[in-house]
Every structure is written in structure tokens, then in C-alpha cells.
Amino acid sequence: MTPSARIQAAIDLLDAIIASARDGGPAADTLIARYFKERRYAGSRDRRAVRDHVYDAIRRVAERPETGRAAMIGLVQERPEIATLFDGSPHAPLPIEPGEVGALAGAVPGWLQPLFAAPVEQDALLGRAPVDLRINRLKAVPADVAPLLPDAAPIAGLPDALRLPEGSPVEQNEAWKAGLVEVQDAGSQWIAVACGAQPGMTVVDLCAGAGGKTLALAAAMAGQGRLLAADTIRSRLARLEPRAGRAGATFIETLLLDQAHEARGLEPLQGQADVVLVDAPCSGTGTWRRNPEARWRLTQARLDRLAAEQARILDFAAPLLAPDGVLVYATCALTDREGRDQVDAFLSRHAGWTAESIDLPVGRRHGAGLLLTPGHDGSDGFYFARLKRGA
């Protein structure tokens, strides 16, 4: 592909990504993979260059643009050399017309800015994220892993965490293949630490998804006790089984819950759990470094639905706790509505519950919990709190 053809390919992909974001379709990575599967002539350099163009354009624009061409023309302001590639040659975009305006730059959509937690450094939300790893204590200690990952650096405060540069091919490494490490952002690892899971406990990961935090809890429990991963989406839980097998965490139980009737499926666990983790469905505003197009998908109506769902999950999670049990609420979101305000609302609905202080060398106190941000903590953005029923 010529450099100009790469620009046109990026425009075509951006058009597809914009339409998919508007209509709730597949994510950008899926669309990019499909695009190149149908175009075998594109070499590895072509694929890399086009992908970089696409994501550079996505990261630059907060509001969903009208067209892929507008997004790429907007990128010309930061990379003026691209303008010469709009040359109208075969497979290239038409020249930029005088007065043709590109999409405006921005980090956060205008409607969303007032809803962000005040301490968030918005200019840091779209940097490229590193690859964080968690050493799996069920199979390894740091000394076992270090020779296999010589480029990895430690993460302060997390003795089992390592950091590699963005884009590192971890899954080709023997440490990953053998289950010695798992890919997990440092923020997620801190949340697992905040749960305080210990061997012999009964622990419930209530919105387990594919089980990243479940596996961290399994390692903290040293494979001893009862660890249950629950979710309402079968395909997510199905992804946990091979991961647990690779990690040596075969004691994990899975529970598929019926959406809107979760309490019925959880009734046998009422009053038994030492720890319940509610890693609730959320806006994902803390993960924009990895998913910048998510800004184009989020709407006020979707945020309203998510906030209502978070409150509902917290309410049916609370009865699962044993008398001294701890409910940990977490979201990879940076809006107060999903974090500080959600926890405050739970405490107002549930008499006798309080928020415990979280003693970790990371984050900033925000309301009853801790706020992690890319700019302050170098991790994805999270809000989390430890909640406990009074004596």
C-alpha cells in the first residue's frame, strides 16, 4: 500500500468505527481485524501504519465525528505532513478543499465533563497504556519470572506486579504460556489487594466477567477456601475456565445468574461470604487509554441505565455477607455518579452500613473510597470502596 492508500484505508475504517459506535456495533479492534482479514494484500507494515492512523485520529477527538475523513483531516493539525497524502491518486483520498474543516480536538465529550470527579487529570486519560502483569503466586514467585521477562520493571507497592512497554507481545512469552503471569492493570491489582482475601475464606466475585480479578483473588487465597465467580453472561464466564486452568486455579466455582433474577440464584449464599467483590458494569471512562472510541459510544441515557444497574447489584449483593464480611464496590469509571455518589447512596439506603478506611499507598481519598487515575497513579482509572455492616 502507498502512504496515501494507507490514509484512505484509515478513513474507511474510521467510517465503520463511527457507524458502529453510533449503532452499538462491534468494537474498533474487531472491525480492524475484519478489515485486514478481507485484504490479505496488506503487509504487516501496512496494517501497523493504518492502525496507528486510526487510533491517532480516535484519541484526538472527544465527540463522535461525522465522518472518517473529518477525523483524519483533524489529525492534520498535529501532523501536517499527512496533508500531502490527500492527493487524489489511485486508492488515495481526494485533496483537502480550501476551508474544509476537520473534527475538533478534545479529551472528554462536553456533556460528560461536569460529571467527572474533580481530581481527574483529563489530559492524561488518552495516553498509551503500558502492559501490566501480575505474577501468579499459585505457580511462581518473582524470582521465577524475572529471567523470562528481562524488560519488565517492578511497580511500586505491588510486589507481584511488573510493567512492560505498550504493545509488548506477552502472550508469546513462556511465562504467560505457563501461567506464571497474567495480564492485569495495576489498578485492578490494587482492587484485589483491597478485598483482603485470605486462604480459607468464602469469596464471591459477583460480576466476574472473564475473571481477571477472580484469578487475583484465587492467588491471594492460595487455592484454599471457596471462590465463586458469578455473571449473567455465559460467554464471559466461559472465558474464565481456560484461564483458570492455565493459572492452576481450578478450585474456582462458576455460577451463571439469570439477569434481573440474580437474588434467586444467590439465595444459598446469603450470610456466608467473607468478601463480596462487586466490580460493577460501568461507563469504562477509566479505560480510555485502551478503548478511546468508548467516548463515542457513551450517552446520557446509557449512563443513567448503568447507574441504576450498579445500585441494583449493590442491593442484592449486601445480603450475601457474613456478619464480619466486607463488600468491595469497584468501577473502572471516573464519574462521581458511578463512584462516590453511588457509594453514598448505598449507605443512605442501608442503615448500619459504613465505609471502612482503605490503607493503600496509592490513589486519593474521594468520598468514602479511593480514586485511581492514569495521571496520578499510572494505572487505569478506578473508584473503589470497602463497605461493612455495623455490629
State the catalytic residues. Answer: 332
Instruction: Report the C-alpha gap between 208 and 241 in whole angstroms.
Output: 12
Q: How far from each other are the two terminal CA atoms of the chain, in whole angstroms? A: 68
- 317, 349 in Cβ contact below 8 A? no
**Phi, then psi, of 183 in degrees rounded to 5:** -75, 120
Q: Which residue carries 480536538 as its cell?
A: 105
DSSP state of 326: E
b (16+ CB within 10 A) / e for 151-174: ebeebeebebbbbbeeebebeebe
Q: Going by DSSP bridges, is the β-strand pair 202-205/273-279 parallel, antiparallel, or unpaired? A: parallel
Question: Which residue pairs from 374-377 have beta carbons closer than 8 angstroms and sit at least 24 positions apart in sequence?
Answer: 374/121, 374/124, 374/125, 374/127, 374/129, 374/286, 374/289, 375/120, 375/121, 375/123, 375/124, 375/125, 376/119, 376/121, 377/186, 377/187
